[in-house]
Amino acid sequence: MSQHHQILIIGGGTAGIMVASQMLRKNPKADIALLEPADTHYYQPAWTLVGANTYDYEKTARSMASVMPSGVHWIKEYAENIDPENNKVTTKNGNEFTYDYLVVCPGLRMAPELVEGLPEAMDKGVVCSNYTNPKHTWEVLKNFKGGTALFTQPTTPIKCGGAPQKIMYLAEDHFKKSGVRNKTDIVFAIPGGVIFAVKVVANTLMKVIDRKDINIRFHHKLVKVDAENQIAWYELAKDIDAGGCIVMSGDNEGKKLDESIQYNYKDVKVTKEGDRYGIHFDMMHLAPPQAAPKFIAASPLSNDDGWVSVNDKTLQHTKYPNVFGLGDAAQLPTAKTGAAIRKQVPIVVANILNMIERNAVTNLAYNGYSSCPLVTGYGKMVLAEFDYSKEFKPDPKLKQFPLMIGDSSKEHWRLWILKKYLLPYLYWNKMMKGVEV
């Protein structure tokens, strides 16, 4: 089978549905086809709350049919091969679809195989992840009886960079309620050297770390998970013996602790083998490594790292002018979030409409805006908003909501209400329907 459409969209996630619905609002006669094999569309930002038993998983799911904009040709198939030279996409079923304009937003894929032992360990026993099975996360938290609670994240780009620590703050609250906090050490092992890239937000989060008595281990690259023995193996991205500092174990009395690697040190069990350090855990929550979908990485649209290569302001492909990329699969130097997509979609829509009429993009520019709603406990949240500069930049549009009064770089219950109630409402009732918010 072969079909031609004016605009072909790959992906029915946040980006794909928003592009289609906004495009139809601006041009109701547009011929739009959307490739998406899934039956269900998820509001994934709420999975953090599901993992802490404060949001119903079923409420995060709606049928794909219910969010698909009326007038879009829904092609319920997997894209397999992209041939931008011939304006053609071939599906796994062998069907061919040609286009005038292509919008590429298939999201990313979980890639646990990038860490040895992780595919076997994921979502089983005491290893959990809100990224893949938030209901299992809650089972792990509920059944935890004390010991070392390890939270960690990979070196790859991930959806919502703040998510691996949000569940940690909620877990700490839960451990207090369940009476196990006083026999628990919480360790946050991360590959970077700071807790968050935006300084004013990092300052707030470090106060949360102090209050909750959490040990952060910086420069930790997760390389292996031994689920049977409950050990997470790390390599350090920094020389820990420089300056005579010993940081990994409490056996070296009198040696200085290097705070650029260890903050608020806890003497949890660590085994050293060669240049690897194995942190023993009684539960572990992690963000698995993440990567671009394989069909994207194998296509002429990708850069060396497999992501869709686009101009970071216009979102137009760097080689093919009738191709646009956005969302998690795009190679953009900002956080991969729904908030980023909210700002990217109007740029893509305006540019395609202008290309159709004038064969040129507009002068609109995406500035890298993204935001991470950083839940810091039950009833508390910080809203980290920033752009390509990595400076704290609140969105004037959000400021119109009464909940947004005050400094959103500080913890507040109003922001928790925004996260739990207002943002899901805006998502389903405005964003999915093409209303710019």
Domain architecture of the chain: domains with CATH: 2-108+292-367 (3.50.50.60), 112-284 (3.50.50.60)
E runs forming strands in 93-204: 96-104, 109-110, 127-128, 147-152, 184-189
pLDDT score, position 259: 74
The pLDDT tens digits of the residues spanning 144-170 come to 999 999 999 999 999 999 999 999 999
Active site residues: 160, 372
Tokens of 160: 């919502």
Tokens of 319: 């080689």
Is it the case that residue 186 has pLDDT exceeding 60? Answer: yes
Looking at per-residue pLDDT, the higher value among 30 and 238 belongs to: 30
pLDDT band at 404 (very low <50, low <70, confident <90, very high): confident
Q: How far apart are CA 289 and CA 82, in angstroms?
A: 25
pLDDT score, position 256: 54
Is it the case that residue 121 has pLDDT exceeding 80? Answer: yes
pLDDT score, position 248: 52
Q: How far apart are CA 363 and CA 342, in angstroms?
A: 18
How many Å is the Cα radius of gyration of the chain? 23
Where helices occur in 54-117 by DSSP H, the ranges are 64-67
Is it the case that residue 252 has pLDDT exceeding 60? Answer: no
Mean pLDDT to the nearest integer, 132-152:
98
The pLDDT tens digits of the residues spanning 264-300 come to 999 999 999 999 999 999 999 999 999 999 999 999 9
pLDDT band at 49 (very low <50, low <70, confident <90, very high): very high
Is it the case that residue 253 has pLDDT exceeding 50? Answer: no
Q: How far apart are CA 41 and CA 354, in angstroms?
A: 30
The pLDDT tens digits of the residues spanning 330-387 come to 999 999 999 999 999 999 999 999 999 999 999 999 999 999 999 999 999 999 999 9
One-character DSSP codes across 277-304: EEEE-SEEEEPPPEE--HHHHTSTTB-T
Is it the case that residue 246 has pLDDT exceeding 60? Answer: no
Nearest to 287 by CA among 128, 104, 76, 107: 128
pLDDT score, position 403: 81
Is it the case that residue 244 has pLDDT exceeding 50? Answer: no
Percent with pLDDT over 70 in the chain: 96
